[in-house]
Structure 1
Amino acid sequence: MLDVDFVRSQFPAFSEQSLEGQAFFENAGGSYTSAQVIDRLTRFYRERKVQPYAPYRASELAGAEMDEARARLAGLLGVGSDEVSFGPSTTQNTYVLAQAFRQWMDPGDAIIVTNQDHEANSGPWRRLADEGIEVREWTIDPDTGHLDPEKLMELLDDRVRLVCFPHCSNVVGEINPVAKITALAHAAGAFVCVDGVSYAPHGLPDVGGMGADIYMFSAYKTYGPHQGIMVVRRNIGEMLPNQGHYFNGDSLYKRFTPAGPDHAQVAASAGMVDYIEALAAHHGLLGETPVATGAAVHDLMRDHEEKLLQPLLDYATSKNSVRLIGPTEAAKRAPTVALVTNTPGETLAAQLAPHGVMAGGGDFYALRALEGMNVDATHGVLRVSFVHYTTESEVQKLISALDSVL
């Protein structure tokens, strides 16, 4: 079982007096940062804040730490180190990739998007319609928010070049079968781009094992600095037109980062791996390979989250005044829970604050998903989201607070 006391000892936020007594349930918007990341970021700014990769000691150390972050993250994700790119955000990374596909595709080619997505992994692709690219929408079930792979099959043909979908939605929460969907797309001759922003905080996935061509997530939601992390596998990365400086075109991890990297934040991202490995070591889960270690920690996190999540789901389904978005079984979803009531989501979030519960309300840039489930996006939802450092008592506090405001 997860040692939550050890976990929380790794996060300075839990020792902050200003946050004492506050239960944090807005993790889908951004997680607390681990001490390992903060330490690396501070050290870089104090000791390494020079142009990296120059032939003097401070610069050599700066470049080495940036390379270390890329290599160690790649190890956990099961991909090559040059297949991992950093950018200012996942939204920006998606936009850059969409420009590459715009140049690579021909008018009449097709892409598939969903209405389950956060707008960041939908809007840039949908804009390709302005260039003559056909955009097909894989729609969710209006009652449950479920994405049915059988419906994807109806959209696939030899004109489809790319299928874009989320590992899980930031409001529906259901975990989509990435390997299965990828296999269907590949069989039809299409590539896949997976938005992992809402899934990765619950355990970094084995991207190599899933077979995804592109996988993106945000470091600031996975206990790290404010960076977007993007896996672009070599087969598609070398095929797409270079979006970086022309003289960097031969470097795979530079092809989709037009701007210079944030040296300090890239280097600090190695702290994410430090944390995962510390968690594995403490629980006796260090594997023979980084992928094995990552998988063990992933399962440790998920087991804890599922245990805490089910009582919250049971509570929500027991209330006639509440509509729970997404699955009612914890094993099928992430602990990102959107609730629809007669009260606007933002109002409910404000009412929870005096109870010591930090939550969010609104549309969360998932307007298409909410509208696809007949939810008024202007009314919005209350979203309560947690990760593995959340405790059972905090979930009970949330349920009590919900009972009071509902």
Structure 2
Amino acid sequence: MTRLDTEFVRAQFPAFDAPGMAEMAFFENAGGSFACRQVIDRLTRFYRERKVQPYAPYPAATAGGEEMDEARARLSALLNVAGDELHFGPSTSANTYVLSQAFRQMLQPGDAVVVTDQDHEANSGVWRRLGDAGIEIREWRLDPATGILDPEALARLLDDRVRLVCFPHCSNVVGHVNPVVQICAMIRAAGAASCVDGVSYAPHGLPDVAALGADIYLFSAYKTFGPHQGIMVIRQALADRLPAQGHHFNAGTRTKRFTPAGPDHAQIAACAGMADYWDALHDHHFGADAATVTPVARAARVHDLVRAQETALLAPLLDYLRARNDVRLVGPSDPALRAPTVALETRRAPQDLSEDLARHGIMCWGGDFYAQRPLRAMGIDPDRGVLRLSFVHYTSGADIDRLIQALDQVL
């Protein structure tokens, strides 16, 4: 089996050579990952050479528009969706808010929307506020002991009044990877649409959205080695039913229907660097066979490569935490069932621990991470929060060893 070349991977991220960063181990990736060199290069080039209104008939504008189109085409191909199903916005929270306003116009009083208490607030609060418009809000509750969502509990909520079910691919504090294919199939069979928050999963491998069966899939480019943009997939059949939220003269253009403000041209163009990086990972590990392997197949190879690396690194950390009696691990202890986002309820204040860990060269944080609902549901005071340790595939085995040694010193 091909193993991830960590040295090659880390060479793609200038942050590892930056003064003050090279000496530290980064464990707050769930809040935002390092940007890869390919994204930084494209963003720099756009600002230097193409910072004009794109698509106009002169070279700088033409090149800028082409690069924006390239980002959409290549990312949608990796995600296995049509180009006009991909939407860019300032953040996932903003994208979800715009989407909720479209549903507010389309739904009728008495219709029902299902939300969870496992979600980050971005995929919970905006949907709950639809209750102000007479929409029934039903809550799919997590198991307070494990933090896990049971699909059988969802089945009891589904009936012919449910129009939309919103849930996470995985929670940003629980970490458990939900069975999205199974859940989306249940939702589709009930005649409803699915909205999957992939913010905490996509950094660990871009998903095949078509294979998942999701009607809506959202994630953040700035947590996926890119610029500060939110990326949203809305499948065509649903997008064409939803009222447009942009300027009236853009209502007939699918890619502009859910963009109320002007897009960030430079950052959208820089998103093509995410595809450059994913392709570089593929070609380094599997050979440059782009002509014979489809983009979605290449993404799947890299997804599996990344997940295998992260699972292997996660195992010793979870073993160490299981052996302690002064921390509570939130979510499952089996590394195969979760993303490498590890939240801990601790005896000492999480913020104090993060400050101490920083003095040991560990970058992490304590708090609620906009996940007050799941924390409260599991009996954890959101005001106190949790210590969160999150990593991605560029994390090294030496980083994990350093983290464990530092935890021994501060807990």
Instruction: Give the alignment's TM-score, normalised by structure 2.
Output: 0.98
Q: Does 2:336 align with 1:331?
A: yes
Partner of 1:302: 307
Distance, in Å, in 2 between the alignment partners of 1:67 and 1:126 is 35
- Output one character per residue of 1:28-71: Cα deviation in whole Å (capped at 9) or x when no partner: 00000000000000000001011001111111111000000000
User: Is residue 355 of structure 1 aligned with residue 360 of structure 2?
Assistant: yes
Structure 1 equivalent of residue 320 of structure 2: 315
d(CA) in 1 for partners of 2:178, 2:254: 28
Matched residues in 1 for 2:383 and 2:347: separation? 12
Q: Runs of 5+ in structure 1 lacking a partner?
A: none
SS in 1 for 2:115: strand
**How many percent identity over aligned positions?**
65
Alignment of 1:3-402 (within 5 A): 3-284=5-286, 286=289, 288-402=293-407
Mark the runs of 5 or more structure 2 residues left unpaired by the alignment: none
Which amino acid is the alignment partner of residue 55 of structure 2? Y
Question: Matched residue of 1:155: which SS?
Answer: coil
Tell me the CA shift for residue 96 of structure 1. 0.2
What is the DSSP-based 3-state SS (H/G/I as helix, E as strand, rest coil) of the residue aligned with 1:212?
Answer: coil
Per the TM alignment, residue 347 of structure 1 is displaced from its structure 2 partner at its CA by 1.3
Aligned partners of 1:317 and 1:224: how far apart in 2? 34
Larger mean Cα displacement after TM superposition, 215-224 or 12-21: 12-21
Separation (CA, whole Å) in 2 of partners of 1:251 and 1:360: 42
Query: 2 CA distance for matches of 1:162 and 1:343?
Result: 40
Shift of 1:226: 0.2
Task: Say which SS state the counterpart of residue 323 (structure 1) adopts.
Answer: strand
**1:164, 1:388 → 2: CA distance?**
28
- Report how far residue 72 of structure 1 moved: 0.2
TM-superposed CA distance for 1:21, in Å, is: 1.5
Q: Separation in 1 of the partners of 2:75 and 2:315?
A: 31
* Deviation per residue, 1:250-307 (Å, 9 max, x gap): 1111111100100000000000000000010000155610000000000110000000
Deviation at 1:317, TM superposition (A): 1.1
Q: Distance in 1 between matches of 2:151 and 2:22?
A: 44
Root mean square deviation of aligned Cα:
0.7
For residues 53 and 234 of structure 1, the distance between their equivalents in structure 2, rounded to whole angstroms, comes to: 25
In structure 1, distance between residues paired with 2:225 and 2:22: 19
1:177-206 CA-partner distances (Å, limit 9, x unpaired): 111100000000000000000000001000
1:198-252 deviation per Cα after TM superposition (whole angstroms, max 9, x unaligned): 0000010000111100000000000000000000100100000000111111111
Instruction: For 1:52 and 1:375, locate their aligned partners in 2 and report how far apart those are by CA, in whole Å.
Output: 49
C-alpha displacement at 1:346, in angstroms? 1.1
Counterpart secondary structure, 1:384: strand
Q: Secondary structure at the match of 1:283?
A: helix
How many residues of Structure 1 are paired with residues of Structure 2 in the alignment?
Answer: 406
AA paired with 2:40?
A: I
Q: Deviations over 1:106-158 (max 9, x none)?
A: 00000000000000110000000000000000000000000000000000000
| 1:310-337 deviation per Cα after TM superposition (whole angstroms, max 9, x unaligned) | 1111111111111000011111000000
Supply the AA of the counterpart residue of 2:192: A
SS at match of 1:97: helix
1:179 maps to a residue whose letter is V
